[in-house]
Amino acid sequence: MLNDFISLIYPKNCASCGNGLFKHEECLCTFCRYHLPKTNFHLQNGNPVEKLFWGRADIVSAAAYYAFGKGGKVQHLIHQLKYNGKKEIGLTVGKLYGLELKQSGKYESIDMIIPVPLHERKKKKRGYNQSEYFAEGLSKSLHVSTDTSTLIRANESETQTKKSRFSRWQNVESIFHIAEPEKLTKKHILLVDDVVTTGSTLEACALTLLKIPDVKVSIATIAFANN
């Protein structure tokens, strides 16, 4: 109750630490902007996110902006983005990360950004797909457009807990399809999501995209959860 009261008086707080924001600060305070745990994976070939996909999908480059720690500020940030309606976090973080990716030169050949589609039911409940906002922020800094209509999530995957890894993969892979493959032919696609953990959803999306002739896929996420 006290927190609700405080947020009424000070409506603009840092999405990560909760401290009040200065007028010039957008979504994240200056301290968090500099001190959230960055992975700098985009500067490292064969980084842990890239390794996740070795032998699973042919990915050009992969990286995650922050390291996700249980109970930490990054977890709080992601929670606010996904469950608290704070869509602007995706936009802000995307813009910041886009600038760093651009500086590294490694993502120069990207032609199109595609966010991982959400289950229709989840999107309705939440009202938005958080990854679309991250994609939008990246798009602003990388000057590359975003496509949210070509990669489609077909249906909900069944309960996966009792399945083997192989059947889980089959199951997850069959839920994505491409609406108009010709739109993506010969493109280098940056596939984006909020958090990468096991990489199975990103893998399924990537394998679907890689069926299109001469397509290349890279990956960027807000956070990497090492479990």
- Residues found near Zn ion in the complex (CB under 5 A): 14, 16-17, 29, 32
Q: CB-wise, 29 or 135, nearer to Zn ion?
A: 29
Q: CB-wise, 5 or 34, nearer to Zn ion?
A: 34
Q: Tell me the closest approach of the beta carbon of residue 127 to Zn ion, in angstroms.
A: 25
Residues composing the chain: 227
- Name the one residue in this structure whose structure tokens are 């745990």: 37
Q: Tell me the closest approach of the beta carbon of residue 19 to Zn ion, in angstroms.
A: 5
Q: CB-wise, 29 or 204, nearer to Zn ion?
A: 29
Q: CB-wise, 15 or 195, nearer to Zn ion?
A: 15
Q: Helix or strand or coil: residue 89?
A: helix
Q: Tell me the closest approach of the beta carbon of residue 226 to Zn ion, in angstroms.
A: 23
The residues, ordered by sequence, that sit 6+ positions from 17 with a Cβ below 8 Å of its Cβ are: 29, 31, 32, 73
The residues, ordered by sequence, that sit 6+ positions from 167 with a Cβ below 8 Å of its Cβ are: none
Q: Tell me the closest approach of the beta carbon of residue 88 to Zn ion, in angstroms.
A: 14
Exposure class string for 58-81: b at 16+ Cβ within 10 A, else e? ebbbbbbbbbbeeeebbbbbbebb
